[in-house]
Structure 1
Amino acid sequence: MSFSKDVKEELSNQINSARHCQIAEVAAIISLCGRISISVRDEYMIKIHSENLTVVRKFQNLLIAAFHVRPEIIVRQKKYERNIVQTSELRSDMEETLKKGNIYIAIVKQSDIAKNILKATRLITEYGDIKENLSIVDNIVVQNTCCKRAFIRGSFISSGSISDPSKAYHFEIALPTRPKAVQLREMLKVFGIEAKIVQRKRYFVVYLKEGSQIVDLLNVMEAHIALMNLENVRILKEMRNSINRQVNCETANINKTVAAASKQVEDILFIKELIGFGELDEGLEEIATLRLAHPEASLKELGQLLSVPIGKSGVNHRLRKLSIIADNLREHKEEKL
């Protein structure tokens, strides 16, 4: 099971005890993947369509909790467009037997019940008219902070996804209209979460790419198990990155030291070959001899090997002098040529 599916599974098993929060979550599901039909006899019907069984199961459980209604469930094969299951109860264990690639539909056929649900979620006007695009923008059911949490949770279950955090940090919810996307982004701001919006084909995607922001959002949706799992992955990734940075830094330092030592040996050998060490003062001759004898030694180690030990800066100063002498000798040699 993917990480995204794990999060939705955890959220689908949560039913808030407050009815107003249950209604807010129902409003999100209907708004994002619901269809409402009104017959010529003014009879209402609600349909929830999803390729994700979790969405329909959560919608069913919310209706039972908030309205004491159990919707009819239909499972339809996408390829043949025929019903393979029709039941009044959708259980989590059914997911093992239902095939992938199906469409899951929850239907509330009773007109009076459907109308009551739509009135409670404020998705129809007081005159019974359906709000444009089932919009919940400025809807009173999401005025409370707790109801905003529920609405965000319902939105994610309906049309959201989250990447495996061990590979990348990416959270998104796809919405059918820009106003809905803007509204969701503003809801997230209430909790200090700065999301962005991008248009992808006919959808407007509200997304996050920062691990810390995704952790905060999981906390807002009350997906605490998923939050802990993501934090464990983040800690492991940060430890690996820290170790890699340290190793890279140490490797770079080693390479730098080796390159510097090679250049020093090259300069000293050039001096020795051209004029010998006889014209060098005692300190330079001693450090030159030690460097040739110990090409892999650090500056500190070379300093301790001297007859009168000196520090790293003193050793570095003498080796730089040798480098200058070698460069001057090279220039004089080139001039003669």
Structure 2
Amino acid sequence: MSFSARIKEELSRQMSPARHCQIAEIAAILSLCGGIQISGDDRYTIKIHTENVTVARKCFTLLKKTFNIEADISIRRNAHLGKNRVYSVCVKQHEDALRVLKATKLLSEDGEIGENLSVVGNVVVQNPCCRRAFLRGAFLASGSISDPEKFYHFEIVCATESKARQIQSIMATFDIEAKIVMRKRYYVAYIKEGSQIVDMLNVMEAHLSLMELENIRILKEMRGNVNRQVNCETANINKTVSAAVKQINDIVFIRDTAGFESLPPGLAQIARARLEKPEATLKELGEDLEPPVGKSGVNHRLRKLCELAERLREEQGAGQ
């Protein structure tokens, strides 16, 4: 089961105790994956379509608990997606459908249904608790989240820009900054910051999934820190090795051209020590000298040898 599916499984078991929050959640689900059929004699039928059985189960439970409606559930194969099943939750009785539509404010006082079941400006999301429930329903209806082991991405897909803007504005009331992008003919409200996705899970009250995501984020951060430290140490080792190789090449050049006898005692001493111990650190080289010399002193002498080797090369080049 994917991380997104596990979140929906958890949210399907999350039931708001207050009826007004239950209505807000149903309103979001109806708006994003529901439809209304109107017969010739103006009889309403509500249909909610989803490919997720947990979402279908949540819709059935909400309708039962909130309105005491026994909805019908049917299953069919998705002709476009092969093996995928589509679950339909239907409220066939006109009076029941009417109660749901009026409670969710999707049906106006004069009997008009909002275009595309619009919930923009809907009074069912006035309270913070109802906004939480609304976002939970929106995610159940058309949301998804990527595998956090790979990257962070949370989104809710909407049929219209106005619905995406509403979801964006509701998220903003919880200090969550969502962006909107158009993908094919849909509008997608999305979040890419890991910490913001954690906040979003908290808003929807998916606490188990939140802890799972936090654990993954901590492990990823630890791995990142270890990798950065290893890369830094590797770079330092490479730098040290490269410097030692150059020092040895310069010392060998001095030995073969001018000879160590031409060097001051301190430089001759460190030159021989470096050739004897090519892998030693500056500190180790200094400790082996008599008398011992500190790292800065060893570094100073090796730099002098490198400068001398450069002058000898220039003199040799000028003489040819």
Q: Using structure 2 for the length normalisation, give the TM-score.
A: 0.97
Aligned to 2:261, the other structure's residue is in SS state: coil
Match of 1:236 among 219, 228, 247: 219
1:77 Cα deviation from its structure 2 partner: 2.3
2:124 paired with 1:141: yes
Q: Which amino acid aligns with 1:41?
A: D
1:246 paired residue number: 229
2:139 paired residue number: 156
1:14 paired residue number: 14
2:134 & 2:94 partners in 1: Cα distance? 25
Aligned to 1:105, the other structure's residue is in SS state: strand
1:266 Cα deviation from its structure 2 partner: 0.3
1:268 paired residue number: 251
Q: Percent identity?
A: 60
Q: 1:166-195, CA deviations, whole angstroms, 9 ceiling, x for partnerless residues?
A: 111111111111111111111111111111
Q: 1:71-111, CA deviations, whole angstroms, 9 ceiling, x for partnerless residues?
A: 1111112349xxxxxxxxxxxxxxxxxx9512111111111
Q: Which amino acid aligns with 2:146?
A: S
2:13 & 2:99 partners in 1: Cα distance? 24
1:38 paired residue number: 38
2:61 paired with 1:61: yes
Q: 1:263-313, CA deviations, whole angstroms, 9 ceiling, x for partnerless residues?
A: 000000000000001121111111111111111011111111111222211
2:154 paired residue number: 171
Q: Which amino acid aligns with 2:60?
A: Q
Aligned to 1:172, the other structure's residue is in SS state: strand
Q: Which amino acid aligns with 1:335?
A: A
Q: Which amino acid aligns with 1:282?
A: P
Aligned to 2:152, the other structure's residue is in SS state: coil
Aligned to 2:157, the other structure's residue is in SS state: strand
Gap runs ≥5 in structure 1: 81-98
1:96 paired residue number: none
1:84 paired residue number: none
Q: Which amino acid aligns with 2:45?
A: M
1:74 paired residue number: 74
1:25 & 1:192 partners in 2: Cα distance? 20
1:104 paired residue number: 87
Instruction: Write out the 4+ residue segments of structure 1 that deviate beyond 4 Å after TM superposition.
Output: none
Q: Which amino acid aligns with 2:275?
A: L
2:101 & 2:163 partners in 1: Cα distance? 18
Match of 2:196 among 203, 208, 213: 213
1:252 & 1:77 partners in 2: Cα distance? 57
Aligned to 2:255, the other structure's residue is in SS state: helix
1:133 & 1:310 partners in 2: Cα distance? 82
1:40 Cα deviation from its structure 2 partner: 2.3
Q: Using structure 1 for the length normalisation, give the TM-score.
A: 0.92
Q: Which amino acid aligns with 2:98?
A: K
1:133 Cα deviation from its structure 2 partner: 1.3
2:309 paired residue number: 326
1:299 & 1:77 partners in 2: Cα distance? 73
Q: Which moved more, 1:24-33 or 1:100-109?
A: 100-109
2:95 paired with 1:121: no
2:298 paired with 1:315: yes
1:247 & 1:137 partners in 2: Cα distance? 52
1:277 paired residue number: 260
Q: 1:34-60, CA deviations, whole angstroms, 9 ceiling, x for partnerless residues?
A: 111222222111000112222211111
Aligned to 2:190, the other structure's residue is in SS state: strand
1:78 & 1:262 partners in 2: Cα distance? 67
Gap runs ≥5 in structure 2: none
1:319 Cα deviation from its structure 2 partner: 0.6
1:204 paired residue number: 187
2:112 & 2:232 partners in 1: Cα distance? 66
2:212 paired with 1:225: no
Aligned to 2:269, the other structure's residue is in SS state: helix
2:270 paired with 1:287: yes
